[in-house]
Amino acid sequence: MEEVEKIFPDHNDIKYFALALKLNCGIWTNEKILKEQNKIPIYSTEELINIFG
């Protein structure tokens, strides 16, 4: 968790980021601040529609 706290800008959702980091998967969110890190992919709704639509 200490590593995650250093790189994750939103401390309210740090549990989700830690889980995504452990599972090596992305997060679906429209919070743009989360794109400021480069450890896990962050997908907006629009990006997912373009991928799967």
Segment 16-48, tens digit of pLDDT: 888 998 999 999 999 888 888 888 999 999 999
Domain of residue 30 covers: 2-52
pLDDT band at 13 (very low <50, low <70, confident <90, very high): confident
Return the higher-pLDDT residue of 31 and 3.
Answer: 31
Report pLDDT for 10.
67
Give the pLDDT band of residue 9 (cuts 50, 70, 90): low
Q: DSSP letters along the chain, please?
A: -HHHHHH-S-GGGHHHHHHHHHHT--EE---GGGGG--SS-EE-HHHHHHHH-
* Tally of domains within the chain: 1
Residue 43: predicted pLDDT: 96
